[in-house]
Amino acid sequence: MSTGATLNSICDIAWVFTYMAIIWRGFKDRSLGMPMVALSANISWEAIYSFIYIPPSNALLYASIAWFIFDIPIVWQCFLYGYKDFPPHIKRKHFWLIFLASIAIAFSIIFGIASEFNDTKGVYTGFGINCMISILYVCMLFRRNDIAGQSIYIAIYKWIATMFAFLGSSFDAPGDINKTLTFQTLMTEIFVEQTYPTTALIKILYAVIFIFDILYIILLYRKSREKKINPWARI
């Protein structure tokens, strides 16, 4: 197995753990564990790259389908609990319409970007959505002023998944697909390589994601301690 494939496999597994942790915590707390807008974009991406723009890699296709399946319970949680994040005058039936509209808008935009940028591997759209998710998680924590639906494990799994997605994308860049992971090759791929899927834009997006993922882990840990909850015991 090539270096890129190994890194991408770690990413895929970490995302599955992220989804499982979100599903578990969401039903446990009766709270949506992913911001609604982020969820709308996330499941739209997975639907597009599972059933419309078939990725060139079978591994990415299978991963996209698996993520889509794991996202379905989170969508159901959004229908059940998502209205709690909205003002009281927005009734549950109205929230459902808002959520469906959010999915329709997200799907249209992601489909358009994928087509216009020729984003065959979903890297531009994937990291763009991931950047939004990372920022929205921090916003969600501040808005709720509570850790309902959230856990330190969700935060850490997401951080690991995205980090290995970036490293895997770096080693998927054109060139020797069997190049060995060393400090020199790693630095070259991160700071020198500028071809898809490691363009300057993607590197900027990942830098923002990394910062907000670390910030979210720190803030969530502090909020847990503030509420006298052991974050490591809260699965």
Contact by Cβ (8 Å): 217, 156: yes
Domain assignments of the chain as residue spans, ordered by start: 3-226
H/E run at residue 48 = helix 36-51
Kindly report the length of the chain.
235
One-letter amino acid at 220 equals: L
Q: Residue for token digits 């939004």?
A: 132
pTM of the model: 0.90
Contact by Cβ (8 Å): 31, 140: no
Provide the H-helix boundaries in 171-235.
Answer: 183-191, 200-226
CB-based contacts of 223: which residues, under 8 Å, 6+ apart?
141, 145, 146, 147
Residue 187: both structure tokens together = 């630095």
Residue 36's Cβ-side half-sphere holds a number of Cα atoms within 13 Å equal to 22
DSSP SS3 for 66: helix
Per-position pLDDT tens, the chain of length 235: 567 778 888 999 999 999 999 999 999 999 999 999 999 999 999 999 999 988 777 888 898 999 999 999 999 999 999 999 888 887 777 899 999 999 999 999 999 999 998 888 889 999 999 999 999 999 999 999 999 999 999 999 999 999 998 888 777 655 444 556 666 666 666 666 677 777 888 889 999 999 999 999 999 999 999 999 999 999 8
Contact by Cβ (8 Å): 18, 161: yes
Cα distances from 7 to residues 40, 83, 167, 208, in angstroms, run: 26, 37, 7, 20
Q: Residue for token digits 């990942």?
A: 206
